[in-house]
C-alpha cells in the first residue's frame, strides 16, 4: 500500500464499537509536508481515525499506512518516528515540566535538545513548575513539546486548541505554522472552522463516519451552492433608471449616492463580467470591486445540514 510514497495513507478504513459503526469506510492520503485537517462535529469519527493511525486503536476493516508501516503491526517502530498530541494529555499533577521532558526523552531512540524545545514552546520559565499549576495553554504547549521530542516527520494533533482562550489558541496556531514551514507532515483534527481554514493545506469534512468533502478550504468553499456577494464602487453615479438584469444576479441594490452597486450571485465570475461590461458601455469607471465568497462554515452547513457550534 505504499506505492505513492505518501507518509499517511488510508483506504476503506472502518471501525465499529460493537453495534456502533463509528468510521464507515474512509479514504485519504496526506503527502509529505502537508497539513491535512479532519474537520467535523463531535462524534464524527475523527479521533477514532487518528488513534488508529497512531496505533492506539485497532481497525475493523480497510488499510492504513504511516511512513510505510502498519500502525497496528509495527506499533513500536512507528512510535519512534511520529509525534502524537492526544485530545487530552493528562500528566501527574506533581510532575515538573522539566521532568516530563526528561521522562518522555527516555522513551525514544532519537531526541531533540530539551532546553531548546522548552524555549521554543515558551515553557523555559516554567521548567520547575508542577503540571497542575500550568494554565490550559501551557499544558497544551507542553503536550506539543512532548509530541515533538523525537523530532518526528509526521505529527498527529487531535483538537490541538480545543478549549483554549483566543490568545493561547493563536500561540498553538503559530506553532503549527512553524512546523509546517519545517515541512513536517501534520494530520490534525478540529471542529473549529477558522482553524481548518487557517492552518490546513487540505481538509476532509467528516460527518457520521464518512468523508463528505475533501480539498483545499478554498475548493470546498467554491463547490458550494451558497452565493457570493459582489460589491462594485463606481467613479461617478450610475444614471437614474433601472439596473439591467445581470445573469445569476439577485438582490441587486444601489446606494443613495448611486455609486455603490451590490449583487448576490451563485455564479459570481459570470455576473461580474456582465456588470463590468455594462459599466463600460455606460462609460463609468470602476473605483473598486469586492467579492465576498461563502465561508467554509457556510459550505460545511450546506454539506452536512448542521452547524459545528450546535
List residues near ligand ATP by CB under 6 A: 17, 20, 22, 40, 42-48, 191
Minimum Å gap between C-beta 96 and ligand ATP is 29
The minimum distance between CB 306 and ligand ATP, in angstroms, equals 13
Q: Which is nearer to ligand ATP, 184 or 191 (CB)?
A: 191
Residue 303 and residue 205 in contact, taking contact as beta carbons nearer than 8 Å? yes
Smaller CB separation from ligand ATP, 55 or 268:
55
Instruction: Calculate the CA dihedral of residues 56, 59, 64, 65 and round it to 10 degrees.
Output: 30
In 3D space, the residue among 245, 254, 253 whose CA is nearest the CA of residue 274 turns out to be 245
**For ligand ATP, which is the closer residue by CB, 121 or 205?**
205
Nearer to ligand ATP, 43 or 136 (CB): 43
Q: How far apart are CA 147 and CA 156, in angstroms?
A: 8
Q: Between 136-148 and 97-105, two packed helices, what is the crossing angle to 10 degrees?
A: 20
What DSSP string runs through 14-28?
EEEETTEEEEEEEEE
**Residue 159 beta carbon to ligand ATP: minimum distance, rounded to whole angstroms:** 6
Minimum CB separation from ligand ATP for residue 152, in Å? 21
Pairing of strands 202-207, 35-39: parallel
Least separation in angstroms between residue 161's CB and ligand ATP is 13
Distance CA 43, CA 46 (A): 8
How many Å is the maximal CA-CA distance in the chain?
78
Measured from the CB atom, the residue of 22 and 64 that comes closer to ligand ATP is 22
Amino acid at each position: 500500500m505504499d506505492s505513492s510514497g505518501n507518509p499517511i495513507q488510508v483506504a476503506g478504513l472502518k471501525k465499529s464499537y460493537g453495534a456502533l459503526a463509528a468510521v464507515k469506510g474512509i479514504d485519504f492520503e496526506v503527502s509529505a509536508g502537508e497539513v491535512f485537517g479532519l474537520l467535523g462535529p463531535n462524534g464524527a469519527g475523527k479521533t477514532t481515525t487518528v488513534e488508529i493511525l497512531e496505533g492506539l486503536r485497532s481497525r475493523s476493516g480497510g488499510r492504513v499506512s504511516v511512513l510505510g508501516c502498519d500502525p497496528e503491526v509495527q506499533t513500536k517502530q512507528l512510535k519512534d518516528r511520529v509525534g502524537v498530541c492526544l485530545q487530552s494529555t493528562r500528566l501527574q499533577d506533581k510532575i515538573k515540566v522539566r521532568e516530563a521532558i526528561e521522562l518522555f526523552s527516555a522513551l525514544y531512540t532519537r531526541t531533540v535538545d530539551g532546553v531548546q524545545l522548552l524555549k521554543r514552546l515558551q515553557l523555559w520559565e516554567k521548567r520547575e513548575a508542577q503540571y497542575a499549576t500550568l494554565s490550559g495553554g501551557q499544558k497544551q504547549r507542553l503536550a506539543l513539546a512532548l509530541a515533538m521530542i523525537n523530532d518526528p516527520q509526521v505529527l498527529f494533533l487531535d483538537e490541538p486548541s480545543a478549549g483554549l482562550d483566543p490568545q493561547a489558541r493563536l500561540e498553538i496556531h503559530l506553532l503549527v505554522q512553524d512546523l509546517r514551514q519545517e515541512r513536517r507532515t501534520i494530520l490534525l483534527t478540529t471542529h473549529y472552522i477558522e482553524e481548518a481554514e487557517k492552518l490546513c493545506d487540505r481538509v476532509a469534512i467528516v460527518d457520521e463516519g464518512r468523508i463528505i468533502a475533501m480539498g483545499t478550504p478554498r475548493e470546498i468553499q467554491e463547490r458550494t451552492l451558497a452565493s457570493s456577494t459582489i460589491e462594485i464602487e463606481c467613479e461617478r453615479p450610475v444614471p437614474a433608471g433601472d439596473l439591467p438584469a445581470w445573469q445569476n444576479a439577485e438582490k441587486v441594490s444601489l446606494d443613495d449616492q448611486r455609486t455603490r452597486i451590490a449583487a448576490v450571485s451563485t455564479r459570481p465570475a459570470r455576473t461580474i463580467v456582465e456588470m463590468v461590461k455594462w459599466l463600460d458601455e455606460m462609460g463609468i469607471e470602476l473605483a473598486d470591486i469586492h467579492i465576498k465568497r461563502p465561508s467554509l462554515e457556510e459550505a460545511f452547513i450546506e454539506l452536512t445540514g448542521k452547524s459545528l457550534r450546535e
